[in-house]
Structures are given as structure tokens and as C-alpha cells.
């Protein structure tokens, strides 16, 4: 992770996060250069991904100070949506208020939607009923 970065990127995480939805974007930000990427969880402790891999985090969501350039909310397996963590939603809502942009990866749009952060979400038709936001833009199995 770049230390003299100009863009502050924070990933809001909780247990069950899809490993690919964290690892892929982190790799992209690192390769692009100019970003300080930090992983934050509700309590500042490591999170366990959907495949059982433990991810160390840099800080608790409540410790993220100042405005964030990019807040990233990664996806979760479909079964995890029933267990939306209220503290994660609250942290996303707080950070989103000062973030230049809030982005989600795959099904991560459900979490900002649950927090009232997203007015629209994009995802597969199977997720439309889970988003809890108006204006769901869905894609069928063909991706069209």
C-alpha cells in the first residue's frame, strides 16, 4: 500500500465478506498508484471471509477520521444478506457523508442500500428484492 498517497480508500468490512471483492479492488488501487488503501471493520479486528481466510484490518470504522476519497463496500454471499450488521451499516452511513464517492463491488450495493446511502443499486435480478432501495438496476443471467 502506498504511503505517500493522495487518495484515501477505505474498505468497510465485516465477517463473511467475499474475498475476491476485497482482493481484486485492493490490487487495482495498488497497481494504479497514488492511493492509500485501508481495511476497516466494525471493531478493528480481523474479519473472516466467505472462504474462511482471515483478513487483518488497519482500524475500526469509528477510527476513520476526516473525509475519505473513496469508500468501498465489498460484496457478501447471498445467504449473508439476512444478517446485515447494523454497526457496519451505521459506519458506512457515517463515512459516506464525507466521502467523495461511495462504491460497491458486486452485491456490496445491498449494504449501502440498507444504510440509506445508495438511492440506486446495480446487480443481478436475483438480488433485486434484497437491496431495499428504489431504482434497482438489475442484470439477468446473460449480463444484458
Q: What is the CATH number of the domain that holds 20?
A: 3.40.50.880
Which of 106, 113, 89, 90 lies closest to 25 in space, CA to CA?
106
Residue 138 inside a domain? The answer is no
- The number of distinct structural domains making up the chain is 1
Host domain of residue 20: 7-106
Residue 140 inside a domain? The answer is no
Question: What's the burial of 2, exposed, middle or buried (CB within 10 Å: 0-12/13-18/19+)?
Answer: middle
Residue 132 inside a domain? The answer is no
Residue 81 inside a domain? The answer is yes
Residue 113 inside a domain? The answer is no
Residue 34 inside a domain? The answer is yes
Q: What confidence tier does 4 reach under pLDDT thresholds 50, 70, 90?
A: low
Residue 49 inside a domain? The answer is yes
Q: Is the pLDDT of residue 118 over 90?
A: no
Prediction pTM value? 0.76
Cell of 117: 446511502
Amino acid at each position: 500500500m502506498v504511503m505517500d498517497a493522495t487518495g484515501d480508500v477505505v474498505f468497510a468490512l465485516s465477517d463473511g465478506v467475499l474475498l475476491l471483492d476485497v482482493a481484486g479492488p485492493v490490487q487495482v488501487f495498488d497497481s494504479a498508484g497514488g492511493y492509500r488503501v485501508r481495511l476497516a471493520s466494525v471493531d478493528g479486528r480481523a474479519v473472516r471471509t466467505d472462504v474462511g481466510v482471515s483478513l487483518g484490518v488497519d482500524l475500526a470504522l469509528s477510527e476513520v477520521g476526516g473525509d475519505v476519497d473513496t469508500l468501498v463496500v465489498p460484496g457478501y454471499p447471498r445467504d449473508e444478506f439476512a444478517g446485515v450488521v447494523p454497526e457496519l451499516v451505521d459506519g458506512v452511513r457515517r463515512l459516506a457523508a464525507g466521502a467523495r464517492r461511495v462504491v460497491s463491488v458486486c452485491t456490496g450495493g445491498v449494504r449501502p442500500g440498507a444504510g440509506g446511502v445508495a438511492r440506486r443499486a446495480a446487480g443481478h435480478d436475483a438480488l433485486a428484492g434484497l437491496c431495499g432501495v428504489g431504482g434497482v438496476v438489475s442484470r439477468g443471467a446473460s449480463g444484458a
